[in-house]
Amino acid sequence: MEADYVIVGSGSAGSAVAYRLAGAGHKVLVIEHGGTDAGPFIQMPAALSYPMNMGIYDWGLKSEPEPHLGGRSLATPRGKVVGGSSSINGMVFVRGNARDFDTWAEMGAQGWGYADVLPYFKRMETWHGGENGADATWRGDSGPLHITRGPRSNPLFSAFIEAGKQAGYELTSDYNGEKQEGFGPMEATIWKGRRWSAANAYLRPALKTGNCTLVRALALRVVIKDGRAVGVEVERGGKTEVIGARAEVILSASSINTPKLLMLSGIGPAAHLAEHGIELVADRPGVGANLQDHLEVYMQFASKLPVTLYKYWNLLGKAGIGAQWLFTGRGLGASNQFESCAFIRSAPGVEYPDIQYHFLPIAVRYDGKVAAEGHGFQVHVGPMRSRSRGSVTLRSADPRAAPVIRFNYMSQPEDWEEFRRCVRLTREIFGQAAFAPYVKHEIQPGAAVESDDQIDRFIREHAESAYHPCGTARIGAANDPMAVVDPECRVIGVEGLRVADSSIFPSITNGNLNAPSIMTGEKAADHILGKGMLAPSNAVPWQSPAWQVAQR
């Protein structure tokens, strides 16, 4: 088997690359180890807690015991299914802040500043969110990815936004447009009541062109001859074979599996590869380094009124929601329930938002286990720009072995200061008049948790990953020893090999990573095709005029 381009991974970026290359007339082959994304567990938005806890859809990876979180191992879900992690994520759509991408450019990712990436964000989307004065000029109207907003019919969604306003924060009609900072409606990759994953948006249309083929196989390593990637060795049906690439190999296997594949292929830190008896092709110490993620806590409040989703949190309620969704595509099943949100700054002198809120009208864990107290609601909150850095390394030279994942969460003193501020600022928001009819008491952490030490203990015991790993094969200048790919996504030191996924992010973006991962695939495709980039935008995003002196 061979094709012009062989892509490893059918996730957010890989599907976008496949769509653009196939659309340009090239023969493309996409390797995916996971199975079908059919069925209600994936396609019904409200069922989002199921797929990421099911071995059939998830790689089942875990971090090593985290020394600063009391030795806990944290789950690190990655999609092992058609559509990759876009088929098991929370469907939240956040581009990131303009400053994130300008920071990338400053770090050596030339051509990846906000002006450069905004046209790609616009190209990839069809936006259905124009309301309350939201400005459509920042958004796309003809891309494959449909972006919608939930109905926000539950009164708690508007209470959250109103409480933010009462606390003196900005409002924003579109955090993905001109102004990220503030409280407002949340956006999702949901269309006509279904999860609009990268598989639905990009891969299926690519397959329909006749130029793209999907192959179910486990990628073992990239085959490199005379310094050039010529194919991918895979295991399929119990046999090992090589799928040949006439032009290039593109790794889009996630920020966990992409560095693992690079190292198995001889690209990575020389000493580490030697430990595992892997022949060195290119000494790139940045492979597997620079691992970043978002950490968050769930702050939960008991509700005075029975307006939360708790009334459906039983067999009969869930069956009713599922049946309504199956027959009509509507109702509570058609939403991920993340319908309002906020981005705020934690302190004066912070240039742009560094705290994100996901509001949810039920008190429940990500794995679907409900709070003990019945009716309640919660926010997921955490700092966006932790200084902690971790790594992905090989456990062995066996491609079937899970890699060693060390996030090194909360290893910097500033992380603790920022997280404490998150907790205290959140309490102030829920103490506003807008929540007076609803807040009975704080379930978690609980009103007794007040001092720095008490809050730190709560964080140590309860902080969870937001599942946003990135940065393990970062983009940078070709002469930067820690860079893995150049600004055209080419692996430095190897011909015919690129990386297009969240591995290449030099620093983590503000918010969920699905949108910037798809943008990476879109932009990488233009680099691969060798055509000019989309013209840079001259749009100027909003920034708080008082950021140097005021927190809000």
Q: Which positions make up the binding site? A: 81, 89-92
Active site residue 468: yes
Residue with tokens 């005021």: 550
Cis amide bond preceding 541, omega within 30: no
Query: Tokens 């969240």 identify what position?
Result: 502
Q: How far apart are CA 336 and CA 351, in angstroms?
A: 31
CA distance 474 to 486: 9
Q: At what angle do helices 155-166 and 413-430 cross, to 10 degrees?
A: 110
Q: Are 385 and 44 in contact (CB under 8 A)?
A: no
Question: Sign of the C-alpha dihedral, residues 223, 252, 352, 116?
Answer: positive
Q: Summarize the annotated binding site for FAD as residue ranges.
A: 81, 89-92
What count of Cα atoms within 13 Å lies in the side-chain half-sphere of residue 551?
10
Q: Which amino acid is at 523?
A: K
Return the residue matching tokens 């807690």. Answer: 49
Q: How many CB atoms lie within 10 A of CB 400?
A: 8
Amino acid identity of residue 58, one-letter, is D
Active-site residue identified among 26, 380, 468, 527: 468
End-to-end CA distance of the chain: 58
3-state helix/strand/coil string of 455-517: HHHHHHHHCEECCCCECCCCECCCCCCCCCECCCCEECCCECEEECCHHHCCCCCCCCCHHHH
Catalytic residues: 468
